[in-house]
Amino acid sequence: MVEFCIIYDKVRFEEKELYDKARRRGLNTHIIDAKSISIGTNSKKNDLDLGDIVLQRSISHYRGLYLTACLEFLGFLVINSFKVGEICGNKLLTSIMLAKQNIPTPTTHFAFSSESLSNLINKTGFPLVVKPIVGSWGRGVFPLRDSEAANMIVELREEDDNPLSRIYYIQEMVKRPPRDLRCIVVGDRVVAAVYRYSADKEWRTNIARGGRTEEASITKELEDITLKAAKVVGGGVLGVDLMEDDTRGLLVHEINNTVEFRGASKVAKTDIANAIIDYSIEAARK
Amino acid sequence: MKANMKKDCNDCGAEINVASDAMAGEIITCPDCGANFEIIEKSDLKIEVKPAESIGEDWGQ
């Protein structure tokens, strides 16, 4: 029987749901705090009691990413892999991977100093959107509608100690309805799709910003672009976010490798946690 | 069905209501002072907690 391990650093709805459902199915299930683990270059796989397959669910991107690297070094099969986490946890890498493989995505620019940002804006004009390269829940995502807003962001970023703050990820402001789409991909299936509507007086659609979800139909067009985008970043258990551009149609703007599915599970017809468990079992048997 | 448990806040002493199905790794919040604690151990008899990590810039997706 497959032994299954969930790695967390903070138990949320998703980890609890996965743990409860795996146990209810009679699977030998471990749930381990990432913060309790230490690994050395002389460690052996048997030093850790993690079973056959590890679901990396750490909420901290870097903790999850580098722990995954260590677990893969020891020979564990981790969902999602280090490579997938590295790309999806970084918006710049995701954007260039999507563009390289011709997946429709918003036009995005990267500037490597405040001066190059200023030159870029002189060429593009406003409105634009600035996003941090790493981070989520809509944190640090702001519309830039004029020079005043841009100058404010630059000043804040320049004072920040984080070296990534000096790399500017600037995206066109897509003309879209006040919603986006979150598709949950498990292997080669889109198991759920929801619209995320922004909260009152909020432009961002993140659930963490008070957004609400509504079930969306998984049309052939949505399924095709979502699965292609998931494949480009290496596949696995992913949250693919898309916008509906008024003229160009669907654009993939972000892919999440530790996908939160609380909102989606309220409206989805498929049991997302069980779909992830099925996929993990299948991966362990391969 | 098990009843909810009570835990005194380590910071202000107020009573925190802990759901019966709460598990290690979950965060509980004091209703009075807002301090967050991570459950490190929970049995039918006691709950052990430690101060929760503050939200990191790299948290969430």
Residue A102 lies in a domain: no
Give A81 or B60, the one with higher predicted confidence: A81
Is A11 close to B61, i.e. CB distance below 8 A?
no
Contacts of residue B61 in chain A, CB cutoff 8 Å? Answer: 61, 89, 136-137, 239, 256-260
Domain that includes residue B17, residue range: 5-51
Total number of domains constituting chain A: 3
Q: How far apart are CA A94 and CA A90, in angstroms?
A: 6
Q: Are residues A260 and B23, on separate chains, in Cβ contact within 8 Å?
A: no
Domain contains A219? yes
Is B61 within the bounds of a domain?
no
Q: Which residues of A touch B24 (CB under 8 A)?
A: 11, 33
Q: Which residue of chain B is at minimal alpha-carbon distance from A162?
A: B57
Contact A260 B60 (CB under 8 A): yes
In a domain, B36, yes or no: yes
Within A113-248, strands assigned E span 128-131, 142-144, 168-172, 179-186, 189-197, 212-215, 237-245
Query: A128: domain CATH number?
Result: 3.30.1490.20
CB interface of A with B, residues 52-111, below 8 Å: 59-62, 89
Q: Which of A172, A191, A217 is the last residue of a domain?
A: A172
CATH number of residue A80's parent domain: 3.40.50.20
Asked if residue A180 and residue A270 are part of one domain, the reply reads yes
- Lowest mean pLDDT, pick from A82-86, A137-141, A158-162, B18-22: A137-141
Chain B residues within 8 A of A133 when measuring between CB atoms: none
Each residue of A35-50: pLDDT tens digit? 999 999 999 999 999 9
The answer to whether the Cβ–Cβ distance between B57 and A33 falls below 8 Å is: no
The Cα A94–Cα A97 span in angstroms is: 5
Q: Are residues A184 and A237 in the same domain?
A: yes
Tell me: do A186 and A241 sit in the same domain: yes
Give me the phi and psi of A258, to 5 degrees please: -125, 70
Boundary-marking domain end, from A54, A86, A118: A86
Does a structural domain hold residue A95?
no
CB contact under 8 A, A256 and B53: no
Is A45 part of any domain? yes
- Does A271 reach chain B within 8 Å, measured CB to CB? no
* pLDDT value of residue B61: 67
The CATH number assigned to the domain holding B44 equals: 2.20.28.160
Host domain of residue A151:
108-172
| CA of B25 vs chain A CAs: smallest distance (Å) | 5
AA letter at B50: K
Q: Is the same domain home to A114 and A82?
A: no
HSE, side-chain direction, 13 A CA sphere, residue A9 = 22
Of A15, A162, A239, the CB nearest to B61: A239
Residues A114 and A74 occupy one common structural domain = no
Q: Which of A119, A141, A172 is the last residue of a domain?
A: A172
How far away is chain A from the Cα of B56, in angstroms, using its nearest Cα? 7
In a domain, A93, yes or no: no
- Asked if A10 lies within 8 A of B57 by C-beta distance, the reply is no
Query: What tokens appear for A195 in the block?
Result: 């619209």
Same structural domain, A135 and A190: no
Chain B hits for A59, Cβ within 8 Å: 59-60
Please give the model's pTM, rounded to 2 decimal places.
Answer: 0.92
Check CB contact under 8 Å for A10 and B38: yes
Q: Which of A73-77, A165-169, A210-214, A277-281 has the lowest mean pLDDT?
A: A210-214
Please report whether residue B32 resides in a domain.
yes
As a whole-number percent, the residues of chain A with pLDDT over 70 amount to: 100
The distance of Cα B60 from the centroid of its chain, to the nearest Å, equals 20
Tell whether A33 is covered by a domain. yes
pLDDT tops 80 at residue A195 = yes
Q: Tell me: do A140 and A158 sit in the same domain.
A: yes
* B57 domain residue, yes or no: no
Question: Which residues in chain B are closer than 8 Å to A67, comparing Cβ atoms?
Answer: none
Note whether A134 and A160 are same-domain residues. yes
ipTM for this model? 0.80
The mean of the pLDDT values for chain B is: 90
Q: What is the DSSP string of A64-110?
A: HHHHHHHHHHHT-EEES-HHHHHHHT-HHHHHHHHHHTT-----EEE
CATH code, domain with A262: 3.30.470.20
pLDDT in tens, A151-160: 999 999 999 8
Total number of domains in chain B: 1
Residue B56 lies in a domain: no
One domain for residues A193 and A256: yes
| pLDDT class of B56 with cuts at 50, 70, 90 | confident
A271: which DSSP letter?
A: -
Q: Is residue A91 part of a domain?
A: no
B59 domain residue, yes or no = no
In a domain, A32, yes or no: yes
CA B14 to chain centroid, in Å, comes to: 12
